[in-house]
Structure 1
Amino acid sequence: ASKDPSQQRVKRWGFGMDEALKDPVGREQFLKFLESEFSSENLRFWLAVEDLKRRPIREVPSRVQEIWQEFLAPGAPSAINLDSKSYDKTTQNVKEPGRYTFEDAQEHIYKLMKSDSYPRFIRSSAYQELLQAKRKRCHERLLHAVLSPRAFV
């Protein structure tokens, strides 16, 4: 995927949070937006858990501990806000680390981002300006193609 997304790709991010998350540039733009709001910990946690699921099994226990320390342990530097049910279940799961240790917590954070952070991102000037710039560039290319002398050959 290109670092300079097409108008179509940028527009697609507006269809749903999954569209933004599965596009590397969309993910990066969403993260930048959250960083500008000082609220990137939820997405960083979600991405860390996605990464955990793809890790070789021998790396899983240490990675589980890293994620726990970064996002969930008391006094964690990037603490995420979980409901007590998800937190309690995750606390139990950490005792037997696996790729799906954070499943409940990840699902809770996903729903939180989908209902709160993502709509703010789509309404943000950062997203709207990027979409406008892509529309303008697409329009200019079309105009150039139509008015180009080669078009009449």
Structure 2
Amino acid sequence: MVVFNGLLKIRICEAVNLKPTAWSLRHAVGPRPQTFLLDPYIAVNVDDSRIGQTSTKPKTNSPAWHDDFSTDVCNGRKIELAVFHDAPIGYDDFVANCTIQFEDLLQNGSRHFEDWVREMMTSCGSTTSAGAIVAGFIFTHMSIKLLFYCWSVEDIL
């Protein structure tokens, strides 16, 4: 397994086609819950450590953030992006998440990655199809555009 040591910079650009889960709709009123708009934000973790959280974008299922995060990583294995709906009452609602292995990002010696993340994954790394139930969560199809820069200690010296 490849681990990463060095400086990681992440830009969360945008997301498209976010869908509320049934749990997110529990307080929705009216006959058209399919038009329910989220107040989404993304929590960014490296392994089990939170490195940041995007701003909340009100009333949209296709938010644009362009938020930057930077952190020093020691023996990093994975990046997790978890999308939440900023709920007005109680805890925020889980929407979807994905896990990206550093090993996949750093293939062929590349230190730069810019692309859309289109597959939803459980934290153990298995992919799901739209609407499939895995470990009690309902995953919806969404895409997040990301930009990564990774500099190892050897690159800086």
Structure ranking higher in strand proportion: 2
Which structure carries more relative contact order (alpha carbon 8 Å, separation 6+)?
2
